Amino acid sequence: MPEVIFTVELPDGATKECYSPSSVVRRYFEKGEEMLLAEFVQRSRKALAEASERVRAKFGFGCSSAAAQLSEIERWSQGYTQDAVIRIVSI
């Protein structure tokens, strides 16, 4: 199960690296894609939950790193308006 690091550019120009324990995240995001922050958070919830379930299916337990990454995304997203635009820099 290949892990994936994806980088997002926030509305203020800062970048954040995000972790997924599974390549399933590539079904949710594409390099260069722009979206509203609220949509990014929603897709992140789905992608990281699915990634964690893949870990559970293989190893018998969910991925705490996926849960921690989602918590981090939710934390820093609160500093922006939900209609702010973010961009997927790399995946």
Per-residue pLDDT tens, the chain, 91 aa: give them.
689 999 999 999 999 999 999 999 999 999 999 999 999 999 999 999 999 999 999 999 999 999 999 999 999 999 999 899 999 999 9
Has this prediction a pTM greater than 0.95? no
Q: According to the model, what pLDDT value does residue 1 have? A: 64
Q: Which amino acid is at 22?
A: S
Continuous segment of H or E residues that includes residue 86: strand 85-90
Q: Which stretches within the chain are classed as H helix? A: 37-59, 64-77
| Residue 14: both structure tokens together | 């800062």
Beta strands across the sheet bearing 15-20:
15-20, 4-9, 85-90, 34-36
Looking at residue 84, the DSSP 8-state letter turns out to be -
| Residue 34: both structure tokens together | 């722009």
- Give the domain ranges of the chain: 4-90
Q: Which amino acid is at 26?
A: R
